[in-house]
Structure 1
Amino acid sequence: MMFKIISHTLTEIINQSFEQGCFPELLTYTEVRPVHKNGPKEEMGITACSYPVYILSVFSKLFENLAATQILNFVSKFNIIDKNQFGFQKRKSTLDAINTFVERISSSLENSSKVAVQQIT
């Protein structure tokens, strides 16, 4: 019974947030905690040897996941993302990007085409 009440209330809050395009400010609380990487703590400053870990509320994570799902469903439905976009895509990885890159170069070289590659850093 309690689950139905909580899920109904959460659904109302989340749907209202999506409709209004805003997130309840009271739920934006985040704690940032430094986590030590490696090396002696005494020799290095805390920013040089640690990385931040963000602790969000469960509601924030739920909202974030629902928003990401809606956005991904939208861009998939309307075929907005180019097929050559590999980052942040389901079932696509950096290995897929590298394989596509190598296949294109190999194919061009086999066809005696010129190949130019530019590294952007």
Structure 2
Amino acid sequence: MSVAEMFLLPGLKRECGNWLIRYIDADTVLPILRSSRLYSLPRLEDACTAYIADNIEQFVGNEDLNELVMEDAKSVKERQETDSIPVIDDIRSHIRLGVRTLADVAEAEIKIQFLESILENLGLDA
């Protein structure tokens, strides 16, 4: 991706992002998410936040996710545009998108509670 960026080859950069989507798992999701932001690949970023939303219970207490949330929170405070934290908003959005039945509502509520516990542990309100 860095070579594609250096030589201004956006199509190649997107293809690299599409290829990386296949390798998203619990160990790779946060480094891939950071890369997606670095290289401005919104589809890859979306795939990463969807993975985190689907598996949020695995990320409670994850130092890398905590660091990312804090970075996003600091950037919002500096800009003072909104009270929301981008990565948290994206994860919430994916949780809500997964609700299709009444059974899904209960599961989504549990996932939102996990997300809220991450925020609480960091002393954030968003």
Q: TM-score, normalised by structure 1?
A: 0.27
Whose Rg is larger? 1
Structure number with higher relative contact order (C-alpha < 8 Å, ≥ 6 residues apart): 2
Greater share of helix residues, 1 or 2? Answer: 2
Q: TM-score, normalised by structure 2?
A: 0.26
Greater share of strand residues, 1 or 2? Answer: 1
